[in-house]
């Protein structure tokens, strides 16, 4: 199990927000750290791709509307994507429990993210001192090497520890929890994806009348049992109707009111 834990730890580092290796943010943070992608990769490493994808989809729905302006994060999606999903697969308790675990570990991950920011400020001060001394090697080490070493240790060690030891104890730990705790985790885990979708709709919908299209898609999936190909065709038809056949906005016409002419009164 140590080899699988090591691979997941390396992927966690490669998908970190400050990792430059996979085309920077493009290949790391915006691709590798998406729960849908990481769920497939972690599932392949742990030998259960189907469960990994199912859990990845559920976790992705929770964080689908999360943004990180200026590095400010309500939850560390990188820890959600790797150690949390790995523990969710190893627990064997279903996607609902995995979502609850992911939400908890993601919030805890912000502590390590802030710790990395504090340590990086230390390396920045050392780099400034190297600039004043004209030490090119010191500038390179303190601006490129040591920050990445810090980032690697803060990503790899917690992930490796959680997966390696979690594989041994997660099942016994989950079975030892009272039934009420597991029920609560199932309920909360089932609600969180709906919360993520609601936040996304709040951001992208300008008029509440647009919610009718979301409800049409919901009806097509739940009641009509349409597959994704049919749903895409229905969505394309609705988009065509909305953008090509909607009535043009009426221009405000100002009607000139006749003004009384004082000369006509005489």
Residues 34-57 have a mean pLDDT of 93
Whole-Å CA distances, 53 to 38, 64, 95, 150, 190? 8, 15, 10, 30, 16
pLDDT tier, 181 (very low <50, low <70, confident <90, very high otherwise): confident
Lowest mean pLDDT, pick from 23-27, 47-51, 148-152: 23-27
For a pLDDT cut of 90, what percent of the chain falls above it? Answer: 44
Q: What is the pLDDT of residue 177?
A: 72
Choose between 262 and 59: higher pLDDT: 59
pLDDT tier, 137 (very low <50, low <70, confident <90, very high otherwise): very high
pTM for this prediction: 0.78
Lowest mean pLDDT, pick from 4-8, 40-44, 112-116, 146-150: 112-116
Distance CA 181, CA 178 (A): 5
Domain locations in the chain as residue ranges: 1-204, 206-245
Choose between 37 and 187: higher pLDDT: 37
What region does 57 belong to: left with phi over 0, alpha with psi -120 to 50, or beta?
alpha
- H helices within 15-140, ranges in order? 35-46, 49-62, 77-79, 85-91, 95-133, 136-140
Task: Answer yes or no: is pLDDT of 46 > 90.
Answer: yes
Write down how long the chain is: 266
Is 53:39 a contact under the CB 8 Å cutoff?
yes
Tokens 């790899």 sit at which residue? Answer: 156
Residues 239-245 have a mean pLDDT of 85
Residues 208-225 have a mean pLDDT of 88
Tokens 């009535």 sit at which residue? Answer: 247
């Amino acid at each position: 199990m140590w080899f699988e834990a090591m691979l997941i730890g390396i992927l966690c580092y490669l998908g970190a927000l400050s990792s430059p290796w996979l085309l920077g943010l493009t290949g790391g943070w915006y691709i590798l750290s998406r729960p849908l992608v990481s769920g497939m990769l972690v599932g392949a490493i742990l030998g259960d791709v189907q469960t990994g994808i199912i859990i990845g989809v559920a976790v992705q729905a929770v964080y689908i509307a999360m943004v990180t302006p200026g590095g400010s994060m309500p939850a560390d999606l990188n820890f959600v994507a790797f150690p949390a999903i790995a523990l969710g697969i190893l627990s064997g308790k279903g996607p609902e429990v995995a979502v609850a675990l992911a939400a908890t570990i993601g919030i805890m991950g912000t502590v390590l993210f802030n710790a990395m920011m504090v340590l990086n400020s230390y390396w920045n001060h050392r780099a400034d001192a190297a600039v004043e001394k004209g030490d090119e090697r010191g500038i390179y080490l303190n601006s490129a090497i040591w920050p990445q070493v810090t980032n690697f240790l803060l990503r790899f060690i917690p992930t490796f520890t959680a997966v390696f030891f979690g594989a041994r104890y997660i099942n016994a730990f989950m079975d030892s929890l009272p039934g009420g705790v597991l029920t609560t985790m199932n309920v909360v885990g089932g609600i969180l994806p709906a919360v993520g979708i609601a936040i996304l709709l709040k951001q992208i919908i300008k008029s509440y009348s647009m919610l009718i299209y979301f409800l049409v898609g919901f009806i097509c999936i739940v009641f009509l049992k349409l597959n994704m190909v049919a749903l895409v065709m229905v969505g394309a038809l609705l988009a065509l109707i909305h953008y090509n056949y909607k009535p043009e906005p009426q221009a405000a016409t100002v009607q000139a009111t006749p003004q009384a002419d004082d000369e006509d009164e005489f």
